[in-house]
Amino acid sequence: MKPRTTICTVAAALLAPLAAYAQVPTNEQYTYRCTGADGKKHYGQTIPQACLGRPLELINKQGVIVKRIDHEAEEKARIAKEAEAEKRREAENSQRDTARRNQALLATYTSEKDIEESRARDLREHQRQVQEVEGRIDDIKKRQARLQKDLAVSQESGKTRLQEEITNAEIDLKAQLGLLDAKKKEAATINARYDEDRKRYKEATTAKRAATGPTPAGSAPAASPARTSGR
């Protein structure tokens, strides 16, 4: 795709002066002038070969420049304008997204205390899950110890089954230890999320007060909205 794009761009640069020529009134004699790649001035009643793809000046019989044609500069200006427009659109989208998220945050919490209470609930639930995994690990270790004792006194015919159970217990233990490690790391993620919520809540409430003015004295605070888990 890139070579095709390059060819189209070059073709547009070469054809642009011809298109501009078609827009020039034909009831007056004009001369085309450009500075060629050799640094010399080139003139012609039609566009000189040396001027193709280069900035042009259109001169009337009095020697006055009536039009300047610089397709490359115009194309650069167009690209810059489009890039600036895209940048503005991205900024506007970001602002709308921030406003939407802040609105959702203010609908979820009525105070920073609410945020801390929600954090505490999530951390308690997280700790409960960690303890469940730790309990499963303890059970597996007890099963391993029992299996090792059984293996020590087992007849030869029963050793194969016990070895399989010991292997399975080792696999289970490895999986639960990995889960425990991941669960312990989740605590930092939970705290980071609530830290971010608290920071954004402060910014959102400050912006809201600035937009609406101070709350009248004696007015009652808004009732705390019902919240569901899974934000």
Predicted pLDDT at 230: 42
As for how many domains the chain has, the answer is 3
What is the DSSP code string of 113-178? HHHHHHHHHHHHHHHHHHHHHHHHHHHHHHHHHHHHHHHHH--HHHHHHHHHHHHHHHHHHHHHHH
The verdict on residue 12 lying in a domain is: yes
Does 184 lie in the same domain as 116?
A: yes
Encode 111-147: b = buried (16+ Cβ within 10 Å), e = exposed. eeebbeebbeebeeebeeebeebeebbeebeebbeeb
Predicted pLDDT at 28: 66
d(CA 230, CA 124): 15
Predicted pLDDT at 176: 95
Does 145 lie in the same domain as 89?
A: no
The verdict on residue 166 lying in a domain is: yes
Is residue 180 within 8 Å of residue 134, measured between CB atoms? yes
Does 200 lie in the same domain as 162?
A: yes
**Domain finish residue from 47, 80, 108:** 108
The verdict on residue 176 lying in a domain is: yes
Predicted pLDDT at 156: 80
Residue with tokens 């042009």: 56
150, two tokens: 């059984």
Does 188 lie in the same domain as 127?
A: yes
Predicted pLDDT at 27: 56
The verdict on residue 231 lying in a domain is: no
Predicted pLDDT at 197: 93
Helix, strand or coil, per DSSP, at residue 34:
strand
Predicted pLDDT at 168: 95
The verdict on residue 184 lying in a domain is: yes
Does 90 lie in the same domain as 118?
A: no
Predicted pLDDT at 220: 47
Print the domain residue range for 161: 111-206
The verdict on residue 228 lying in a domain is: no
Does 178 lie in the same domain as 157?
A: yes
The verdict on residue 211 lying in a domain is: no
Predicted pLDDT at 5: 47
227, two tokens: 């919240």
Does 197 lie in the same domain as 116?
A: yes
Does 99 lie in the same domain as 82?
A: yes
Does 93 lie in the same domain as 60?
A: no
DSSP symbol at 55:
-
Predicted pLDDT at 194: 95
Does 201 lie in the same domain as 143?
A: yes
Per-residue pLDDT 10s for the chain (231 aa) are 444 544 444 444 444 444 444 444 555 688 999 988 889 898 889 888 888 888 889 899 888 888 888 877 888 888 999 999 999 999 999 989 988 888 888 889 999 999 999 999 999 999 999 999 999 999 999 999 999 998 888 888 778 899 999 999 999 999 999 999 999 999 999 999 999 999 999 988 888 888 776 555 554 444 444 454 444
Does 104 lie in the same domain as 63?
A: no
The verdict on residue 25 lying in a domain is: yes
Does 135 lie in the same domain as 100?
A: no
